[in-house]
Amino acid sequence: MRVLPLAAALFVASCAFAQDRGTITGTVTDMSGGAVPGAIVTVNNPATGLSQSSPTGADGTFTFVYLPVGRYTVIVEKAGFKKSDVADVQVLVNTATRVDTKLQVGTVSETVEVTGQAPLLQTDRSDLGRVVENVAIERLPLFANGGLRSNNAFVLLNPGANASIAADPDVTGGAPRVAGGVAFGNSQLLDGAESMSERRNDPQMRVVSAEGIQEFKVQSGAYSAEYGRTSNGVMNYSTKSGTNALHGTAFGVLRNNALNAKGFYYGAHTPAVHNQNLEAASVGGPVYVPKVVDGRNKLFFFFSGERSRAKDVNAPGLISTAIAEFRNGDFRQYTGANGAVVPLYDPFDASGKLIADANQRPRMQCNGVLNVICPDRISPVAKFINQTNYYPLPDNPTQVFNNTYDRTNGSRTPGENQGVYSIKGDYYVTQKARVSGLFSKTYFNSYPLQGAIPGPVSEGFQEFGNFKWVRANVDYTVRPNLLSHFTFGYNRRDLGEDSIAPDKTYHDATLLPGVNTKVSNYTKYQTEFGNFGSHVWTRSPGRTWNINEQIAWLKGRHNVKFGFAYLRPNYARNDCNNCAGIVSTSSASTGNPGISGTTGIGYASFLLGLASSATFSFGANIKLRVPQLCGIRAGRHQADEQADRECRAALRSSVYPLRA
């Protein structure tokens, strides 16, 4: 394996600079506007007890980086001046909050209290973006679309973001686009690590419940070099952490047909169903066990969970299933649109050989009775499928067509049974070291589904998935002006598709000879009275490893950050769709082109084992690995009376594929 030397990587530094953290910066001056060097600035989060201190530089500036999102108090002290206490300073994800302070002459024992206010114009960063804060996430409604609430729906609150509100924003049809970019060109970060899927960069933000999201920022353009992986916007999510106060939330949605009036048409068949139970809860606080552990100001937890159970079935109509006479080869009741019996023609001669010229085919007869196939000529596969335990008789046996209620009881859309649960821990090891970790699990599958015809003859299929997510962040203060931030992310996805009702006996009896027998999907037979068997089988495992290390060096008005990022998405596609084959039948196989009018019946061709066409696919086992090691160096210089200008390295983003 070829690896870029670490030293070189550090000095062409990182693609990710603590994207899940925020910054407080500012300048301390006296009442005349002169810089106050050597003032001690302390930032404190009252909710968690986190506190950091640093002296101002010769020009009175100070900067605190890698701060967890939340509300802080900024305290400034200097001998000969009154202490300044700026409360309620909000730190947002991937955002610099500016707190400029003017000190008044006096004693340190005197305090000037100031309430923090957000500036009207962001002057400390050049990127374009907007933070969606926790108050919006908690108070604005999210549509319950048959599954879990989607955090991606909030993206539409940002200028330049676009998505189809008629589709799920976490799947292909509803994937958000930012600043006019393509639907799958975004980067979605969860606590600093990439969360987009390995397959095609699909959005995946049901990683945690909406109850567990603290806030997020959508960056639409001009973002700094650490976001060089994509060119179509960055969605940066930060999860909630516990605080010194124990707190929790609960949420529920109930939609049930029992609460609705019955429709005008309401019979014995499957009625329209629109049911959903959606529950969510969260709880967080300090880890506290009397006389054992007191985690206040030191050790915290936060749990969130959400579950959806839904059933969405439109009122089905009528379908046509073969009556008993047709299954036994008697087609004397099979009529066309004009009401006349559709004639059958025999494609075989007396010796059992196919008649080469279809125009020479004689009328089909059994013991002198026209339009009847003798039972001993019906293929074994057709006889097996036509058993009533696999292919039930019509609900109305006296009706030849439109004689059976559609038994479809739902769709495979992954929302019928879906859930996400996460647990996060934060540990303030020392004043210099902080550790946080997140584990989340997401799953989806369906209740037992059936297609128009129950059982293995149904042509439908089901989807299922299990996801696991791990995040770890370590912050360490080497000295007040030299700080380290380390991020580890691991995503595990296991997706699959399979037949609705696997049945080995049916599978073996109807399988085409010589095709793949290792998976559970069936040979599919397409007829006018139904398509028998599901041909779908896939498995799609995905794994992503993401490691970021960032170092911040603060020197007066200069802010230099460097580090490295390693991103390795692995994706496999085990595909056996159509491995068992698809067989189509046609009326042409039992018709006579030389006779005017409608001739031949497709279902009669199926009974005789005649195919009009067939397809077959070899299984595929595809593995994709795209490891990336990249580095960026970014610097910042603050000029007097001017906005920050971010100094980007000539090499804005470099990607080095590694060969194993």
Residue 368 confidence (pLDDT) above 50: yes
Residue 360 confidence (pLDDT) above 90: yes
Q: Which residue has the tokens 């690995």?
A: 625
Question: Contact, 419 vs 148, CB < 8 A?
Answer: yes
Average pLDDT of every residue of the chain: 81
Is the model more confident about 288 or about 199? 288
Range of lowest pLDDT (46-50, 132-136, 472-476, 621-625) = 132-136
Residue 641 gets the label, from left (phi > 0), alpha (psi -120 to 50) or beta, of: left
Selection from 130, 136, 170, 174 nearest residue 150 by Cα: 170
Query: What predicted TM-score, i.e. pTM, was given to this entire model?
Result: 0.79
User: Which of helix, strand or coil describes residue 330?
Assistant: strand
Range of lowest pLDDT (180-194, 247-261, 359-373, 404-418) = 404-418
Residues in the chain: 660
d(CA 278, CA 255): 9
Is the model more confident about 584 or about 556? 584
Q: What is the mean pLDDT of residues 344-359?
A: 93
DSSP code per residue over 227-261: GTT-SS-EEEEEE----SS-EEEEEEEEE-GGGSP
Show the beta-strand stretches assigned E in 458-537.
461-479, 482-499, 524-527, 530-532
pLDDT at 622: 83
Q: What is the mean pLDDT of residues 287-309?
A: 93
pLDDT at 29: 93
pLDDT at 19: 65
pLDDT at 512: 87
Band of pLDDT at residue 296, cut at 50, 70 and 90: very high
Range of lowest pLDDT (16-20, 144-148, 493-497) = 16-20
Q: Dihedral, CA atoms, 508, 514, 519, 524, nearest 10 degrees?
A: -70
Band of pLDDT at residue 546, cut at 50, 70 and 90: very high
Show the beta-strand stretches assigned E in 518-611.
524-527, 530-532, 538-555, 558-575, 582-584
Range of lowest pLDDT (411-425, 472-486, 545-559, 595-609) = 411-425
Residue 239 β-bridge partners:
213
pLDDT at 500: 72
Band of pLDDT at residue 420, cut at 50, 70 and 90: very high
Question: Contact, 505 vs 494, CB < 8 A?
Answer: no
CA 521 to chain centre: 26
pLDDT at 608: 96
Enter the DSSP assignment of 452: S
Domains by residue range for the chain, with CATH: 17-115 (2.60.40.1120), 128-239 (2.170.130.10)
pLDDT at 650: 27
Is the model more confident about 630 or about 480? 480
pLDDT at 263: 57
Residue 146 confidence (pLDDT) above 80: no
pLDDT at 411: 65
d(CA 326, CA 319): 16
Angle at 74 between CA 71 and CA 77, to 5 degrees: 165
HEC assignment per residue over 164-177: CCCCCCCCHHHCCE
Enter the DSSP assignment of 385: H
pLDDT at 157: 78
d(CA 157, CA 80): 47
Quote the tokens at residue 88: 């309620």
Rg (CA), the chain: 34
